[in-house]
Structure formats: C-alpha cells, structure tokens
Structure 1
Amino acid sequence: MNSLHDVWRARFTHYMGEVQKYLRFVFTGHLAIVIMFVLGAAGYKYSEWLKTASSDFPSILLATVILGIVLGISRPITLIRKPDEVYLLPLETKLPLYFSKALRYTFGSQIILVALLYIVTWPMLRQVAGLEPLTIFIGLVVALLLKWWNIYSEFSYRWAYKGHNVWMDRIVRMVCSFAMLFSVLNVQFIPMIVLILIIVSYPMSWKKKVQQTPFPYEHFVRLEENRMMGIYRFANYFTDVPNIHGSIRRRAWLDGVYKLIPYAKQNTQEYLIFRSFIRTDDHFFLWLRLTVISALAAAFVNIPIAIGVVVAALSFATAIQLKQALITSNDFRMDMLYPLPKNAREKAAVKIVRYTIIVQAIVVLLAGLGIPYFYVQGLIVLVVGELTLRLSK
C-alpha cells in the first residue's frame, strides 16, 4: 500500500464484499414478503390516522424525540483491525486522512435512516402540526447537519476517553439534537442561538485531549469486531456463516417449561432437544423472530388474504428451518453412546418443532383477536406447519 488512501480503499472494498455476500440472503424469501406487507399496512394505517388526527396531538415533540434518539446513536465505522496497532504506528501523524474517509462513509451510511424517518414524519408535521413546507425542509437540513455533528462528536469522545461511559455522551447529544430540532420546527430563535453555541463548543471541550492522547487502537478494534460480529450473527439467522456459532444461555426464567416433557426413558431425546432449543440463541431467536413477525402481521394488517399468506410463509419457514437445525447437529452428545434407534432424534425433533408451531399458532390467534375470522390465521399456522413437518425430509 502506497498511502492510507489505498489502505482505506482496500478495506472498504473488502468490507462491502463481506456485507453484500451475506446480506443478500437476508432480504429474500419470506422476509421480503413480510416487509412488503408490513410496510404497506403501516403506510395505510398512518395515512388513515392523519385524516382523523387532532391538532392537539404533540406531533413535533414525537418527531423530534424519535429523531433525537436516532441522531444520538452514531457509532463510527473505522474498519480498524488488530494488526494496525503495530503497522500503522509509523503513520499515526497521517491518520486524520484515513479517519476523514471513515467518518464520511459513516455519515453516508447512517444519514439514510435519518432522512427516511424525517420524510415519514413530514406529512404529520404538515397536516397535524400545520407547519409550513419551508420550515419542515429547514428542519431536514438541520437534522442532516446534526447527524454529522453526532458522528464527529462520538468519534472524538471515544478517542479522548477510550469509549468509557460513552452512554453519557450519547444522552447529552440526544438531548441537544432533540432540543435543536424542536427549536427549529417551532421557530424559536433565542433557544436556537444558545443551542448552536453549545453544539459547537461541545466536541471542542476535549479537542486538546484528543491531540495529546495516542489513538486507542484497542478500543476501536473491539468496536469494529463487535459491529462485524453483529452483522455476521444477523446473517447467520438466514444462512450459514463460517466460524459463527450461536451462544448458549441458560434462560433461567424458562426452566419451568422443561416440566412439559414427562420424566421417562423414552423421552430422553425429546428432553435433550427441547433443552438445546431453549438454550441455543440461533434456534430460540429464530423461532421468536418469526413468531413476533407473524403476530405483528396478524395484529396490524387488515387484509385477511395478506395475513394468511404471511403467517403461512412464516409457519413454513419456522417448521423447515427448526427441523433441519435440530436434526442435523454434528456435536458429540452422551446419548450417542447408548443403543437408541437411529430415527429417535428425528422423531423427537419433529415433536419439539410441532410444539413450537402450536405456540406460534396461539400467539398469532391472540394477536389477531380484533380481526374478523381471526381463528383462521391460527389454523393456517397449524396446517402449514404440520404439512411441512410431514412432507419435508
């Protein structure tokens, strides 16, 4: 590499390749269908609410609080790696060039969410709060500027204090972002001037400390590793990611459910698989995520056919993925030493998945109580789940 510009370009190319390689498996299939129906239903509900919303509704307060929280969460993306603690030391004086590119990418990747949220709140601010389009547009520009300020401030704070108590810094920036947007949308000039002074001086308060403190490689390496691990774990819910294994948690609050499996010799495999399902994050959160999405669709989508398609797709996904995950386990277990029938684990896994489908059907049934023929959705979950278990290999 001839310069830090080449270092950033190479790392950015590798990073985008990694993200695209795995996330292309995420937004396909049943999730794409669910997202389409949920967004359509949410948009319809939102438009209907705007027609009847009272002018007394605190729309400006709600919009600025949500945006303030999103603006405050501005974790920088630096793509720093473990070997940099040694190899970049000779170039430490030139690091600002590298970090300027990193912060620009962070801004470009995070500004999309801010812009989308603001555009969603635009009709509410226009129709309910009665704001002028120019005022709303100025608020959008201010929100984008605040996003850059938040990213720069969090990066500087992490450098100066190695990330210690970063939550306090975030709370301060959330409050400042909320107050600034609230003042802009309410056209309050004196609070705006005071807040501008605070916002400008806030990151400057530790500028000297940043200049005197060596770059904390350990903190930013750990930050990048945690961020990438979060991406890999999310993608691992949809496809196999090498070297990623679901963590194990006891979940003591669910200890009582093990009593549902009768204590008997013939139930050994069933008990072991049930316990593995509860304690393994990949399996448990897979079921939980699909069940919650099904419940949200049943609760907020007012089109019965659409609900049926969504819950059927998610019931199929739950059954097929859990069955394959619970049967095809390559881990050594003590029960392998005992002369049990070859298909004992498969039968036990099917029985456990059937239990999860029943619970999912009950949740969907309860979520759709206010919809006509709500019981049909529960039956669809049961029928599709049972057919998947019987017909799949």
Structure 2
Amino acid sequence: MIDVKKLWTKRRNAHLTQMLKYFSLMANSGLIVSLILLIVIGSIYYAKLLQALPNDFPAVFILTIIFSIWLTKSPIRTLLKEGDLVFLLPVESRMKQYFSMAISSSIAAGAFSTLFIFTLLWPIVQVFIHDGWKMYVIFSFFLIAAKIFNLFVSWEERRLPYKSHQMNYRIMRFIVNFVYAYLLFNEAYLFLIAIFAIMYVLKNFVFGFFKKQHGYQWEMLLAEEQALKIKGYRLVNYFTDVPALKQTVHRRPLLNRLAVFSFKKNNAFSALYMKTFIRSGDYLGLYVRLILLGFLFIYLIPPGWWQLAVVFLFFQMFSLQLFTLYTQYRWNVSFMIYPINDTVKAKAFENWLKGLLIIQGLVYGVFYWILTGDWIVAILMPVAALVYSLVRLPAMSKKHIPMTS
C-alpha cells in the first residue's frame, strides 16, 4: 500500500537535494559575482531614480498592476511524475493528504516570494504612499493573505476539465485582486473588509463547489508540473549544464539563413553553433534580454569611463551562460563521430562567441553614442568587446570546455 505522506516527503527531499546541488554549481560560477556587482550598482541608482521621479508618478496604479498579476499567478508544485498516471490514479481517494502537503509547500514559497517582491518595491511605497515599519508589516500581511487565498482557490480551479473555463475564473480572480490591491495601496481598509467577504464567498461557495463536482485533472497537473520543472532547469542552465533539460527547437526560417552550412571542416561547426543559437532553447532570447538589460544600466548610470566596467560585466555574464551551448551536444553520437578534431570544435565555438560579443559591444556603443553624444567611450565599447574576446575568452574556454566536453 502506498503511503502518500512518505511519498511526498521523499520527492520533496529529492527535489531540494537536486536544487541545492545545482545552486552550489551556480555559486561557483563567476556569473554570481557579476550578478552581485550589478545588484550593488542597481541599488545605488535605484535611490537616485526614485528621487528623479515626478511627484505625480502613478505609484499606486503601477503597484496595483504588479501585485494583481503576481497574486493571480499561483503555480503549485505537485512533484508528479509520468508514472503517477498509472500507479497513483487507483489511490486517488487517498491523495488528499499528498496534495495538501503540496499546497502547504507552495504557500510557504509563495509567501516568501511575495514578501521578497514587496521588499524590493518598498522604497516606492515609502516615497509615494506611506512610510514606517508598521505600514510595511500591514501591507506585507494583506499581500501574503491574498497570496494564500489565491493559491487555495487556484488549486480548486484546476479541477475544471477545460482550460477555457479555468481562464474565465482566472480573469475573475485578477479583477478581485486588482480591486483588492488598489484599495490596499490607497489604505482604504474599511472597503478591504468587503473584499475579504467576497474572497470568503468565492473560496467556500464558488470554488468549493468544484471539489464536489470534479476530481483531480491528472493530465493537466502533470503537464503543469513538467512546465514548472522545465522553467527551473532553464534558469539553472544559464549558470551550468543541466542534462535533464529538453531543448525546444524553433523554426525561425529568416534568422536561420545566417547560419549557412559549409562542408569545410573549419566552418561546419561554426554553422552548427549558430543554428543551435538561433533555433534551440532560449539562447537567442537570452542574448536579446541581456542586451536590453545592458541598455537599462547604461541609461541609469551617469555617463563616463565607468560605463566600460558595466559592459565588461555583461560580456562576462553572456560568455558564461553561452558555454552551456557547447555542452548541449556532449551526449550526441553524431557530434562525437564527426571526423573533426576536438580542438577545431572548441576553436570554432570560441570564434563564434567572439563574433557575438563584438556585435554586443557595437550595439552598446551605438546606444551610448545616441544617448550621450560621447563618441570616445562609444568607440571604446566595441574595442572592449574585442579585448575581452582576445584576452579573457581564451582563458575561460580552457577552464570550461575541457571540463565539460
């Protein structure tokens, strides 16, 4: 007989062990240092940005939108596996305790995440709404309470057999969360009591009705768990290689023309890496997001020579995350039987990465020149990318590629 309590405990411990292992690999990566430096720089100019905002800045509306979306988005990790559709389905009547523990775990994670997000946005609340530690506690309490409500009702919402029906109730929850957050940040506490009453009715009489009419939608729960797992793997894959990550291939016919195939040994793998970068996983999206994030830092930080240090950090971040692309073919038989020396493969990868870094430097330079008109620092940005590619990148290649190839 299956002990569902022990089953959940075993799976939770295995999940935590795996995440701790990946976190240790992430902590050993130089990318963590780059992120810390960017956070320090960002925190310095965060305060300056707040001071530069006008007095009529719509802080209440922006905070309401942010938390309406965050509260409505309520994922629940069930840690289900594909075999559960066979082995756990017969004991569905005894799975209540298993899913109750899954909901409790998600509530703890959701409460912590809500508090973390609110803490990041607390300076905005201090400047435009209300200051004081008492208000911090009050706002945190009401937001966490709303997050717990959304997790409970979203679980019952998952019993509905059709995605369209679930979406309708999700829209209804968004409207309730929007009104709730708007009243909260306007400090209309008397009206919040009415919203609490509406939440109580929704939880016990509307969503509670689903429990009596519908069982667990196992296929949907499994699909959601797989999607959440893939998202976690993609995040970790930015720092280190994740063998369990299944890459998604996109067509992108227009961009795919950039990677013209050549039968020459020196060019074959350059085309392969470019095709992988364009079509596989989220590498192209990562490249674009880092460039846009670099634009934001260049815009926020005052013009000067120190901007070169900022772009160096973004070169470092991009390089470290792209080394996982080289390891994507580690277990591919075709990759191993190609009659091409491993040194040629590594050199092709390094040259291809140099090209992307120089393009990144050129884009930063053009943006900086348009923003400030300082052509000297603007020219030095692609020069910095070239220097990084010639000095730093070969050392990183020796460190990462032999360890993972």
TM class by shorter-chain length? 0.7 to 0.9
CA distance in 2, matches of 1:321, 1:160: 40
1:376 aligns with 2:377: no
Q: Aligned residue for 1:311?
A: 311
Q: 3-state SS of the aligned residue for 1:160?
A: coil
Which aligned pairs between 1:294-373 and structure 2 lie closer than 5 A? 294-302=294-302, 307-316=307-316, 318-319=318-319, 322=322, 325-326=325-326, 329=329, 331=332, 345=345, 348-369=348-369, 370=371, 373=377
Note the 1:20-59 alignment, pairs <5 A: 20-59=20-59
Identity %: 21
**d(CA) in 2 for partners of 1:96 and 1:39?**
42
Instruction: Figure out how many residues of one structure are paired with residues of the other and give that number.
Output: 390
Q: Give the drift of 1:183.
A: 1.3
Structure-2 change in CA distance of 1:114 and 1:351 (3 Å) = same
**Match for 1:378: what amino acid?**
P
Residue 207 of structure 1 aligns with which residue?
208
* Distance in 1, Cα, partners of 2:208 & 2:327: 56
The range that moved more, 297-306 or 223-232, is 297-306
Distance 1:251 1:104 in 2: 42
CA positional deviation for 1:364: 2.4
Distance 1:251 1:61, change over 3 A: same
Residue 6 of structure 2 aligns with an amino acid whose one-letter code is D
Query: Conserved in 1, the CA contact under 8 Å of 2:354 and 2:389?
Result: yes
CA distance in 2: counterparts of 1:223 and 1:24, whole angstroms: 27
Deviation per residue, 1:54-79 (Å, 9 max, x gap): 43222222212211111111111222
- Distance in 2 separating the partners of 1:184 and 1:319: 44
Q: Does the 8 Å contact 2:240/2:324 carry over to 1? A: no
Q: Give the aligned partner of residue 223 of structure 1.
A: 224
The 1:385/1:327 distance shift into structure 2, 3 A limit, reads farther
What is the alpha-carbon distance in structure 2 between the residues aligned to residue 122 and residue 316 of structure 1? Answer: 31
Work out whether 1:240 is the aligned partner of 2:241.
yes
Paired residues of 1:64 and 1:182 also in contact (CA < 8 A): yes
Letter in 2 for 1:380: A
In structure 1, what is the Cα distance between the partners aligned to 2:63 and 2:17? 35
Question: Aligned residue for 1:147?
Answer: 147
Displacement of 1:145 in angstroms is 0.4
Distance 1:177 1:356 in 2: 43
1:303 Cα deviation (Å)?
A: 8.6
Contact 1:41 1:300 (8 Å CA) reproduced: no
1:112-136 deviation digits (Å, cap 9, x = unpaired): 2211222233332233234676455
Q: Distance in 1 between matches of 2:318 and 2:190?
A: 56
Residues 278 and 284, structure 1, Cα contact 8 Å, conserved in 2: yes
CA distance in 1, matches of 2:16, 2:46: 34
Distance 2:102 2:236 in 1: 24
| 1:6/1:319 CA distance change after superposition, 3 Å | closer
Segment drifting more, 274-283 vs 151-160: 274-283
Q: 1:49 to 1:237 in 2, by over 3 A?
A: closer
Counterpart Cα distance in 2 of 1:188 and 1:267: 68
Residue identity matched to 1:252: P
- Report the Cα offset of residue 377 of structure 1: 3.5
Distance 1:36 1:27 in 2: 11
* CA drift at 1:388: 4.0
Task: Report the equivalent of 2:390.
Answer: 386
Cα pair distance change 1:286/1:128, threshold 3 Å: closer
SS in 1 for 2:7: helix
Query: Against the structure 1 CA distance between its residues 133 and 240, is the aligned structure 2 distance closer, same or farther, given a 3 Å change threshold?
Result: closer
Gaps of 5+ in 2: 399-405
Are positions 1:116 and 2:116 aligned together?
yes
After TM superposition, list the pairs within 5 Å mapping 1:186-201 onto structure 2. 186-188=186-188, 191-201=191-201
